[in-house]
Amino acid sequence: MKSNAELIDEAKLGDRQAFGELLTRYERAVWATAWHVLLDFHASQDVTQETFLQAHRNLSELRTPDAVGPWLLRIAWRLALRVAKARRADVPISQIDVAAPSVGELTSEQAEFIAALGQLPEHERLVTVLHYLNGHSVAEVAKLTGRPVGTVTKQLSRAVGRLKVRFEHLKSS
């Protein structure tokens, strides 16, 4: 498995397959970040796509290739906030519904889990998505994020603890 730095270098030279590998690695984390802001399945997909388009255009601005994960999440967060702001500006205040919008194809359990993921700190959300949703080993996550294995293990442990607390009410139901 190639490191993020290797993939970034290859993508800068025009290797579409290398950039595709980065997309595969981070697509779910980027989507979860957008969904946390927008609570809309299709809008989150649009933000995810735009995130990777912007990232591809601005690869030369990435100073630390091993920080590509957090960089992508910041781009997604900013884009999602921009979309959310534009939506609010288009709707008269009297028509704003305070209930969460429909999330399309997601079940309520999936939507609740994605919302919980979105509330994790960025560094924990990234390692959680890479490990549990993308199926990378802890060692692979450490390599992808440029963090020591012990740090990744601790971040995963804290994230799981936070998620357990959030879902304790499901046990008692």
Query: With 0-12 CB in 10 A as exposed, 13-18 as middle and 19+ as buried, what is 141?
Result: buried
Two tokens, residue 47: 């933000």
The pLDDT value recorded for residue 94 is 45
State the total domains in the chain. 1
CATH number at residue 156: 1.10.1740.10
The pLDDT value recorded for residue 143 is 83
Q: What is the DSSP string of 111-154?
A: HHHHHHHHTS-HHHHHHHIIIIIS---HHHHHHHHT--HHHHHH
Domain region containing 12: 4-172
Two tokens, residue 107: 């079940």
The pLDDT value recorded for residue 169 is 64
Q: Which amino acid is at 42?
A: H
Per-residue pLDDT of the chain (173 residues; tens, 9 = 90+): 899 889 999 999 999 999 999 999 999 999 999 988 888 888 999 999 999 999 999 998 898 888 898 899 999 999 999 998 887 665 554 444 434 444 456 677 777 787 788 888 888 988 898 888 878 889 988 888 888 999 999 999 999 999 888 887 655 55
The pLDDT value recorded for residue 104 is 54
The pLDDT value recorded for residue 111 is 75
